[in-house]
Structure formats: C-alpha cells, structure tokens
C-alpha cells in the first residue's frame, strides 16, 4: 500500500493518477464495445460511444438511448466489455464478465482515464479527495494493523477504491 498510496500525493487529480496507474488502453477497443451494468456510467457511455449493447440481467429486452439491454446468457463471445459495475464485490463481477469470453475486460475507471470528457467514478473521486486530505491519518490506521493479512486486505480495498482495479479484495486463508 505504501508505494501506491504515497504516489497519490504526487498527482494533480484522480485522472492523472489513473493514467499513471494504467499507462494505456488495450488495443482493439474501437469495435464490439459493450457495458456490463446499467448505471450512470453506462448511460453516459451510451451517449458518447457506439455501444453494441448493455449487459444487465434485470433489464433484458429493454433499451436505453436506442442501445439494447441484454442478459448475460445472450452475450456473444469476443466483445470488449467495460465493467461499469461499482459492486462491493468487484472480483465477482469481473468473474461473471470473464465467463462471457470477451476479447477484453476493462474497468470503467481504466476507460475513463484516457477520455478527458469522462469523469472517474464518484466513489473513486471521493476516495481520492479523502485520501489527499487525511493521508497521514489513513497511514496511521494502516500502520496500526497488527498482522500482514489485515494490512494486505486494507491495501487491496484502498487500491480498488482508488483505481477501480478488480484485485481480489479478500485474502485467502
């Protein structure tokens, strides 16, 4: 956590931080673009990009902005999936998307880092601002943790909250 967290203060805003973290977008994201999850981020993407469809099991058969919404079982393989879900279980959502045999899966945060007109997700902006303001207090909490498993879990939660990276949050026993 120290390296990622310490580097946070050297960037002017969450977008610069994300660009440094991810470095670039995967190749081939200009076709077969779909969003996983129906929320404010997927709605914004449907207004700005040509989406084939939005994946949302609870809204199968509906549409938004003339973009069809499909359930997972109707998704063909080879799509480029932008994970717009902000689930508290990011690894679960990533695994569900991976079962669809996509060409690529990237987080909305990763995608937004390289499009100046897209904001990073609100939870990341809030976390970035809180970490910038209370950096020393948060580091104090981290350093007060007594075992490596707790520190690893704390670090992974903070990494997800700052980057949207779908790392495995829970430490296996």
Residue-wise pLDDT for 142-159, tens only, equals 999 999 999 888 888 888
pLDDT of residue 92: 82
Can you give the pLDDT at residue 171?
A: 43
- Distance CA(170)–CA(123), nearest Å, equals 20
Mean pLDDT of the chain: 85
What pTM did the predictor assign?
0.79
Of the pLDDT bands very low, low, confident and very high (cuts 50, 70, 90), residue 9 is low
- What is the strand order of the sheet 63-64 is part of? 63-64, 67-70, 53-55, 33-36, 80-83, 104-107
Q: State residue 93's pLDDT score.
A: 83
Closest CA to 162 of 92, 102, 90: 90
- pLDDT tens per residue across span 108-146: 888 988 888 888 888 888 888 898 899 889 989 999 999
Up-side HSE of residue 143: CA atoms within 13 Å toward CB? Answer: 8
Q: Give per-residue pLDDT as tens, 41-94.
A: 999 999 999 999 999 999 999 999 999 999 999 999 999 999 998 776 667 888
């Amino acid at each position: 956590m120290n390296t990622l967290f310490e580097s946070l203060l050297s960037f002017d805003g969450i977008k610069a931080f994300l660009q440094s973290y991810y470095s670039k977008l995967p190749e081939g994201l200009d076709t077969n673009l779909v969003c996983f999850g129906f929320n404010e981020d997927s709605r914004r993407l449907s207004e700005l990009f040509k989406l084939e469809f939005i994946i949302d099991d609870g809204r199968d058969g509906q549409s938004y902005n003339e973009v069809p919404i499909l359930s997972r079982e109707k998704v063909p393989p080879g799509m480029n999936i932008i994970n717009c879900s902000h689930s508290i279980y990011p690894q679960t959502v990533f695994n569900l998307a991976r079962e669809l045999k996509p060409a690529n899966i990237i987080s909305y945060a990763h995608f937004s880092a390289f499009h100046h007109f897209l904001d990073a997700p609100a939870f990341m902006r809030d976390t970035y601002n809180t970490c910038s303001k209370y950096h020393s207090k948060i580091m104090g909490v981290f350093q007060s943790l007594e075992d490596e498993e707790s520190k690893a879990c704390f670090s992974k939660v903070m990494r997800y909250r700052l980057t949207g990276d779908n790392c495995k949050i829970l430490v296996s026993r």
